[in-house]
Structure 1
């Protein structure tokens, strides 16, 4: 279910100079914010929770997921180059699984490590806040990669729809509207951070941990399955 050639081509596409700069911009901003807050306020658990939860998990992780998830396949479908993969004797589930693993790897690299570093800068991992949000970001990265990879197979406007989801649903409605919170990958992963950090860290999620784990598994599994099915329905002309 993994093909090294497909993986190499996908990594090359995702980590080209232009896309790598875009991917690195938000993590760099997170580190800058963390350093500035630490210099101004000193070690602050509340500031760490607000920045890692309100900016990193709510905005940075889904945006990086959009770039990596859609970028792993949508450009190839749009420009027709996917025809070269589809014409090879490769199972399309293998193509999707390989691209998903690459998207997950890229998303993890550009989210979990910066979040962990920012957390240590902000409060030295007091109350295990840095570690809790890093684990939450890792889990969220898997789900986002699957969802946005699927989006890349079903729409020519995958990036636009992905940004709308990340910025409007996750960052806005997912943080402010009670009903929307229960249908947010951010909130599902936040439940994991809440459990890891414990009650003293002031991390709360609208979703219970068992429900969050089930929803994360369902989103990842269904996203991967339907992306493979959708790719299987494409013609060798690369048409959706």
Structure 2
């Protein structure tokens, strides 16, 4: 269920000059904000939660997921080059799982690592906040990558729809509208962070069992349906 050649080509596509510049800019911005905040406020647990929750988890992680998830397969479908990949003797689930693995790895690397660094800068991992949000970024990366990889297979406007989801649903509604919070990857990830941190500083509107179940279900269903869409593309090409 994993092909090294497909993985290598996907890594090369995702880490090309243009995407790499965007991928690096968000972590650099987060770390820069953390350094400035620490300089002005000193080590403060609540400020660390505000920065890591408000920017890292609510904005940076989903945006990186959009770039990695849609970029793993969307451009190949858009320009038609996916036909060459589909002509190889590879099972379609293998292609999807390989590309998802790469998208998850890239999303984790460019979100979890800078989140941990920013957390250490902000309060030196006081109250386990840096570790908690790092774990949240890791589990969130899996669901986001799967969702946005699926978007890349179902629409040519995957980046647009992905940005709408990341910036409007996750950042705005997922943070402010109570009913929408329970249907937010951000809140599911926060439930995991809350368990790691303990105490009252990190909080989620979703219980941990439900959050874990939803993260697994969304990831599995998105991966499965992406595979089905790829099968459809193959049949269309054969016709």
TM-score by length of 2: 0.98
Q: Pick closer, same or farther for the CA change 1:130–1:117 going to 2, 3 Å.
A: same
Aligned residue in 2 for 1:89: 89
2:53, 2:47 → 1: CA distance? 10
- Which whole-Å deviations, capped at 9, do the CAs of 1:54-91 have from their partners, x for residues lacking one? 11000000000000000000000000000011001100
The residue that corresponds to 1:198 in the other structure is 198
Secondary structure, aligned partner of 1:2: coil
Aligned to 1:215: 214
8 Å CA contact 1:77–1:238 kept in 2: the answer is no
The 8 Å contact of residues 83 and 237 in structure 1, kept in 2 or not, is answered as no
Alignment-derived partner of residue 98 in structure 1: 98
Aligned residue pairs total 238
Moved runs in structure 1, 4+ residues, more than 3 A? 235-239
Q: Secondary structure at the match of 1:199?
A: coil
Cα distance in 2 for partners of 1:66, 1:87 equals: 27
Offset of 1:236 from its aligned partner?
A: 7.0
Q: How far is 1:235 from its partner?
A: 3.7
RMSD: 1.1
| 2:133 match | 133
Q: Decide whether the 8 Å contact of 1:86 with 1:236 is kept in 2.
A: no
Per-residue CA distance 1:91-134 (angstroms, 9 max, x = gap) = 00000000000000000000000000000000000000000000
Separation in 1, partners of 2:32, 2:236? 45
Give 1:110's aligned residue. Answer: 110
TM-score for both structures, normalised by structure 1: 0.97
Taking structure 1 as reference, are residues 9 and 236 closer, same or farther at Cα in structure 2, changes over 3 Å only? farther
Query: Structure 2 regions of 5+ residues with no counterpart?
Result: none
